[in-house]
A and B are shown apart, each in its own frame.
Chain A
Amino acid sequence: MKILIVDDFSTMRRIVKNLLRDLGFTNTQEADDGTTALPMLQNGDFDFLVTDWNMPGMTGLDLLKKVRADDRLKSLPVLMVTAEAKRDQIVAAAQAGVNGYVVKPFTAAVLKEKIDKIFERVEG
């Protein structure tokens, strides 16, 4: 399972990376915004994308839209881990085709629950 973690703050990337490692996902790579993430996704065989929303360059929502518009990437599971907490925003992310939405600050248990749920759906 190869996972791409996208967040503009290196500490948050590290936290997510450590949590994923504790959950048994050790094959992770990082990008600091959508602009760097998109070519990585297009050229690498990632199985899962964890992305922040608010980032310079390309935001997580725009990255999600680009992923869904790309024939090769459109079925990639995407989990949004973000501080954006307005109802309108969550609805917009859902409409753009997000698979899970976690608001910061979050716990390891919540992250695990959402990831499990996403893979349950993808595999089921």
Chain B
Amino acid sequence: MAGINLDTDNSAVGTEIKNLAESMLRQLELGDLSKAVALVNNLNEVRDRTLYNEIGRLTRALHEAIKNMRVDTVGAASDIDHATDKLAYVLEMTDKSANRTMDLVDAGMPLATDIHDRASALSVEWQRFLNKELKPDEFRNLTKDINQFLLDSASQSQRLQGQLSDIVLAQDFQDLTGQVIHKVAALVTDVEGRLVQLVAMAGNVDSITGIVHADMESAEEPTEGANIAAEGPQINKSSEDVVASQDDVDDLLSSLGF
């Protein structure tokens, strides 16, 4: 970002005004009114000269700032526009990943349930065998069932393995979206910096011209209660007016008689 020098050499101007004022005071003490009035004119000249210089300098600085701001930062096909596209990409990627993960879980869950159910059932039969409660034909069925179960559970757990590693792969969005979010965050910081410069410049114009903005003195009153709006996730959980956990929610509700 090209630096814009906003520091005014106020000390030189101040010294000049001080010298003029002092000599004016001396002339007044000596009783020379016409010389004192002439010095008032000199003071005016210094003020005007400073003002013109400042205006010239600020105009240049303003041009510089606008150039830095670049018109292509806002509007169609601009940086901001691209940033919006990038965030839409993040949304799309996270959505895809969440659905892919849930698809895989949906596909894997019945396999795990099947292994569990059949293992539990076989375990009961096996216990009966150990207790010598099985008739010969029941035992023959049991060995057949066990054989089938061993074959099925080997293939089902293999499929589960594949699904689990696919779930891990579906998290690859974090890397891609992370990069995009970093870029967008950098753009926001950049634009913020330039806006701060413009605000500082406006402040400089005010101080030189002696303009006071009455409307800026009264801080905006927060509108209370009437309309509670949705705000989305709270990033700063340590804030007083934000609950930190579900336990806090439960405490708050029970204090309200829930």
Contact = CB atoms under 8 A, between A and B. Distances in A.
Contacts of A104: 233
A54 interface: yes
Contacts of A106: 246
Interface string A8-48: 01110011001000000000000000000000000000000
Contacts of B212: none
Contacts of B241: 86-88
B131 to A, nearest CB: 34
A54 B252 contact: no
Contact of A86 (B95, B225, B242): B242
B151 interface: no
A89 interface: yes
B98 A86 contact: no
Contacts of A102: 246, 249
Interface string B97-112: 0110010011000000
B99 A84 contact: no
Given A87-B252, A92-B228, A15 B102 contact: yes
Interface in A59-108: 59-61, 82-92, 94, 101-104, 106
A72 B245 CA distance: 34
B243 to A, nearest CB: 5
Contact of B234 (A55, A85, A92): A85
A87 B95 CA distance: 30
A100 B253 CA distance: 9
A110 interface: yes
The B interface is mostly helix, strand or loop, or mixed, namely: loop
B99 A11 contact: yes
Nearest to A104: B233
Contacts of A83: 232-234
B230 A59 contact: yes
Given A54-B232, A101-B249, A102-B246, A91 B95 contact: no
A85 B236 CA distance: 10
Contacts of A84: 230-232
Contacts of B225: 88
A85 B102 contact: no
A15 B95 CA distance: 12
Contacts of A15: 102
B258 A94 contact: yes
Interface in B96-139: 98-99, 102, 105-106
Contacts of B102: 11, 14-15, 18
B246 A110 contact: yes
Report, nearest first, the 3 A-B pairs whose CB atoms are least far apart.
A54-B230, A11-B98, A83-B233
17 contacts: A10-B95, A11-B95, A11-B98, A14-B99, A55-B230, A60-B230, A83-B232, A83-B233, A83-B234, A85-B242, A86-B234, A86-B243, A87-B241, A90-B249, A90-B253, A91-B256, A101-B249
